[in-house]
Amino acid sequence: MHKKAKFFISSLLLMTVAVCISLSNCSEKKQKVYHVGILTDYSPFLAIADGFKSGMVELGYIEGENIVYDVQIKDFDPEGQKTAVKQFIKDKVDLIFTFPTEASVIAYKLTQGTGMTVVFAMCGVEGNLPIESVRHPGGNITGVRFPGPDNTVKHLELMLEIKPETKRIWATYNPNYPNTVAILEALREAVSSYDVQLLEAPNETIEEVEADLQNLVASGKVNVDAILLLPEGLSQSPDVSKAIIEFAKKHNLPVGGGVPFTLDLGAVFSFLPDDSEMGKLAALSAHKIFNGIPAGTIPLITPENYLYLNYKAIQDLGLTASEGLLGQAKEIIR
């Protein structure tokens, strides 16, 4: 064969191989790596983040392969939360996941006009976010709502079932926390229908809470029948919850309405959604967003609530829990 012909055939073969390799590479779509910023203002709820990651794994998102997380924990630090969200925006993350309420409200406000999406969990949306409706939240946000007002009324009902003779209930709260207004409106209406007096103690620090508690014994007798821990930042904080429950133990008072760790301290009940489940539910919304569905068109999710009872603490107080109530409990400390 002529040298030129051989050269032409060899060149043609090389070009064919090169084209095939090129086409093969093109046919393999480059895998996108999603960047998710996670922000919480309350570290005891970190199981929500774990649930979110677990849910994402079930949906095919493997950390370090096609998804990475930047987790920021800013306990009761609004300025730190703002800084974290601004950094997420600067980093152009694909999604911001927030919990509970305060972090979610801050993320929503700071992301307006940025085109960035926020998915929340355990957020009290009433009075805090401009949600169009549960089925169509609108804007750049969706997620798993926390039914704070409804839960607070349920806490009252549970306390009255455990201690029916209750007439005076003490509750502290931070008046500046996002959830406060809505839960107080619901609780005030509920106590009036039950002929129960609500002793409100608006405070912002543990020192103020402790001073209020001491004022209850200034006359030598605590004229209170029970204490509720409201779903807001102050009474749910570990230090304040502990101080309240220790005070209650000294004066033989039942405490209820806190997060599960308060049961270990001596609270009699907790009634709220499961943290891990909320995280997994939020993962479903994130997956839809990554598949091109606008956040504002994804319905909000209302999680199931679970009852946790400290039967030992109830008995130590000389109180009782009916078989019906025990049957409703997901977990019972005996």
What are the pLDDT digits (tens) for 266-284?
999 999 999 999 999 999 9
**Average pLDDT of the residues in 299-318:** 97
Residue 160 covered by a domain: yes
Give the confidence band of 11 by pLDDT, cuts at 50, 70, 90: low
Q: What six digits make up the tokens of 115?
A: 């085109």
Residue 8 covered by a domain: no
What phi, psi does 175 have (nearest 5°)?
-65, -15
C-beta atoms surrounding 159 within 10 Å: 23
**CA 305/CA 151 separation, integer angstroms:** 8
Residue 4 covered by a domain: no
122 torsion bin: left (phi>0), alpha (psi -120 to 50), beta (else)? left
Report which secondary-structure segment, H or E, holds 84: helix 78-91
Write the pLDDT tens digit of every residue in 160-187: 999 999 999 999 999 999 999 999 999 9
Q: Is the pLDDT of residue 26 over 50?
A: no
State the CATH number of the domain containing residue 290: 3.40.50.2300
43 and 135, same domain (yes or no):
yes
Whole-number mean pLDDT of the chain? 92
Give the confidence band of 29 by pLDDT, cuts at 50, 70, 90: low
What phi, psi does 142 have (nearest 5°)?
-160, 180
Reduced to 3 states (helix: H, G, I; strand: E, B; else coil), residue 94 is coil
123 and 217, same domain (yes or no):
no
The count of domains in the chain is 2
Residue 165 covered by a domain: yes
Q: What is the DSSP letter of 24?
A: H
* Structural contact between residues 240 and 206, judged by C-beta atoms closer than 8 angstroms: yes
**Average pLDDT of the residues in 124-146:** 96
Q: What six digits make up the tokens of 158?
A: 């549970």
317 and 200, same domain (yes or no):
yes
Q: Is the pLDDT of residue 205 over 60?
A: yes
Q: What is the pLDDT of residue 17?
A: 44
**CA 130/CA 20 separation, integer angstroms:** 54
Residue 281 covered by a domain: yes
Q: What is the pLDDT of residue 318?
A: 97
Q: What is the pLDDT of residue 31?
A: 85
136 and 180, same domain (yes or no):
no
178 and 262, same domain (yes or no):
yes
**CA 313/CA 131 separation, integer angstroms:** 40
Residue 193's domain comprises 148-273+307-333
Give the confidence band of 220 by pLDDT, cuts at 50, 70, 90: confident
135 and 278, same domain (yes or no):
yes
Write the pLDDT tens digit of every residue in 46-64: 999 999 999 999 999 999 9
Residue 278 covered by a domain: yes
Q: What six digits make up the tokens of 229?
A: 């821990």
**Would you report the helix, strand and coil content of the chain in percent, each value rounded to 5?**
45, 20, 35
**CA 256/CA 259 separation, integer angstroms:** 9
**Average pLDDT of the residues in 195-220:** 93
296 and 317, same domain (yes or no):
no
Beta-bridged to residue 200, according to DSSP, are: 171
**Average pLDDT of the residues in 13-24:** 48
Report which secondary-structure segment, H or E, holds 197: strand 197-202
Please give the model's pTM, rounded to 2 decimal places: 0.85
**Average pLDDT of the residues in 110-138:** 96
15: Cβ contacts below 8 Å, ≥ 6 apart: none
Residue 115 covered by a domain: yes
Q: Where are the alpha helices (DSSP H) in 206-310?
A: 206-216, 238-250, 261-265, 275-290
Q: What is the pLDDT of residue 219?
A: 73
216 and 313, same domain (yes or no):
yes
Give the confidence band of 1 by pLDDT, cuts at 50, 70, 90: low
Q: What is the pLDDT of residue 258?
A: 95
**CA 247/CA 262 separation, integer angstroms:** 13
321 and 261, same domain (yes or no):
yes
**CA 91/CA 131 separation, integer angstroms:** 27
121 and 73, same domain (yes or no):
yes
154 and 294, same domain (yes or no):
no
Residue 156 covered by a domain: yes
Burial of 310 (0-12, 13-18, 19+ CB in 10 A): buried
44 and 142, same domain (yes or no):
yes
